[in-house]
Structures are given as C-alpha cells and as structure tokens.
Homo-oligomer: A and B are copies of this chain.
Amino acid sequence: MPDTTGASPRDRFVAATETLLREAGMSGAGIKEVVARSGAPIGSLYHYFPRGKTQLVAEALERHAAKLPRIIERSFDDTRDAATAVQALFNDAADGFERAGADKGCAIGAVALDLTNADTEVRAMCRQAFDAWVADLAARLPGADARARRSLAVTTVAAIEGAFVLARAHGNGQPFRDVGKWMSALLEGVEAAHRPRRASARPKSRARRSTKP
C-alpha cells in the first residue's frame, strides 16, 4: 500500500492506481479497487477524474514514469563507468523489488501488455515513457554512434522490463541480478571497443574541445 499519509484525496487515488497497476496491470485497477485501496471517498473520484479510469491510469503512469530517471541518475554518478552503473541499477532494482514485497512490477510494462486497440491515450503514455527512458539512458551509454547508443538503451530498458516479468513469476529479485551481470558484461565490451573520453589518459585541451565539441 502506498504511503498516502497526509496526501490529498486526488493524490491518494493516483498513488493507489499506480500500486494496483504494478500489482496486477489493468485487470487490478478497476474503479472499485482504486477507491478501496486509496481510502479516499468515492464521491470525489469523478470530481477529480471526470474521464474515469482512462484519466486515472494516465496520471498513474505519468507518476510511475517519473521514477526511473531518478534511479538512472543515482546509478550513473560521475565516478562510474556505464558497465558499473548498469550493474548498480539492476542490483538496486532487485533489492527494491524484494523490499516492496516481490509482488510489484513496472506499471508501464504491465499496462503495455494489456493494451487494447481502444487504449490510444494510454498507449501513447507507455510509448512516451519508454522513449524518455531510452533517450535518458542513450545519453549515458557508450557506442559507435547515436543510433548504436539508442539501440543499446532500448536493450537496457527491455532487459529491465523482462527482469520484472521473470521476477514476478519467481517471486524474488534474482532475475534482476542475473540480467544486470550480463548487461554489465555487454557494456564492458562496448566500452572497450569505443573508449569513452574520460577513460583516456590523454589530457583534454580547451582548443581540442572547442573545435571538436
């Protein structure tokens, strides 16, 4: 149950929807379940969310989507290469998954697999969330060019989403640790092939930087 102490009824509805989506996807996030989980008065739900479940789900996904960039930021601190950062990201995900009860996946992933053709607004939210995560990661990963870094970021996001799937089935965070180890090995190989500048022993001159940004 999300910590909603002191939160407004509106926030409690969104937080409850997010948790229910993480637990059981679209099938778990009916209006009745959202109201029960939120502890907020049902009378106010349609006041805050006149478009009902679609609006609730869209806002819950937006709230959920904002979390990964913070986790990425924390893992990729300046002292780490990408291989070490991604290993830390997956180990943190494993610990977080287990601390949260080993029964909560990624809300975006769960909803993406539940999309019907009618869910155009929610589908767009999922796509935007993944695109934002991919862009964020691509800027931090090694690779020959922007296209290679982007597809490597797609692979990393897919690895996170897939680890959630296996972790949910197994009821523990071990899949994150397994996947993180190999994603880290992959990145080590890519870093070795395309040496990032910071690993270079050659000092950077201001003149070089200004002609080759």
Copies of this chain in its oligomeric complex: 2
A15 to chain B, nearest CB (A): 19
Contact B168 A115 (CB under 8 A): yes
Contact for A164 among B28, B113, B116, B169, CB less than 8 A: B113
Contact B24 A168 (CB under 8 A): no
The 8 A CB mask of A13-44 against B (1 = contact, 0 = none) is 00000000001111110000000000000000
The 8 A CB mask of A123-160 against B (1 = contact, 0 = none) is 10011001000000000000000000011101101111
Q: A residues engaging B (CB < 8 A)?
A: 23-28, 103, 105, 108-110, 112-117, 123, 126-127, 130, 150-152, 154-155, 157-166, 168-171, 175, 178-179, 181-183, 185-186, 189-190
Question: Nearest CB to that of A183 among chain B residues?
Answer: B155
Contact for A160 among B126, B157, B162, CB less than 8 A: B162
Residue of A123, A165, A185 with highest tally of chain B CB at under 10 A: A165
Docked complex Cα distance between A117 and B24 (Å): 10
A3 to chain B, nearest CB (A): 20
